[in-house]
Amino acid sequence: MKVILIGANGRMGKSLQQYFNEQSIVVLPIDIDNRNGLKDLIGDVIVDFSCSDALKENLEFAKSKNIPIVVATTNHSKENLKLMNMYKHYLPIFYAPNMSIQFNLVASFIDKLKLLNGCDFVVEEAHHKHKKDKPSGSAKLLIKKLNNISIKPKVYCVRAGSIVGEHSLKIYDQMENLEIKHTVLDRKVFCVGTLKACEFIIKKQNGLYNMENIIDSL
């Protein structure tokens, strides 16, 4: 498999290059701020770990080359989500704000929590001090899923130190409490999930896919 990696010089891009090299996967790297040479690259799949502002340009490139794309950036606007829904008619797109399989298992469990509507729900998330978006894309996914079952949680965000990623869903009742927590100890977990996304999307027809599609296929 040959991967065009947009955002190769970023924190995740560097980790992904190292992991893919260990798996004997060919990586064609493109820096976040220097796209020279991108138009000449040909690969089996594109991985976008750049920034949300570059989404339209990256989707247009994928469309022009007829190459599936994995969108792993966060902090997307409603306009960007509309863009992905538009471009899904032209190419296979995989989008996930969090590439961890375990985190997405937690997210897939939320639909069952409608049985607890009436309790107090809290979403807490913590990341390193350099992370720009707040709440994180992963926290927004949890919030959206809770909103879909008419639950509006309180949300708390922490930006400190070098925390890779922590997300908690807490449910409080008068007689009992429930906490579901996911903690990332190594950034490599996102690399493993990204590889699964690449292997998944290169076999798919045009459409918009996510981690739940992978979980359902396991």
- CA–CA gap between residue 109 and residue 142 (Å, rounded): 10
Instruction: For residue 9, give the DSSP letter.
Output: T
Residues recorded for the chain: 218
Q: Does 127 participate in catalysis according to the annotation? A: yes
The one catalytic residue among 14, 76, 131, 203: 131
- CA–CA gap between residue 7 and residue 34 (Å, rounded): 9
Q: Does 112 participate in catalysis according to the annotation? A: no
The one catalytic residue among 76, 127, 140, 170: 127
Q: Which of 188, 187, 170 is nearest to 179 (CA)?
A: 170
- CA–CA gap between residue 79 and residue 19 (Å, rounded): 32
Catalytic residue positions, numbered? 127, 131
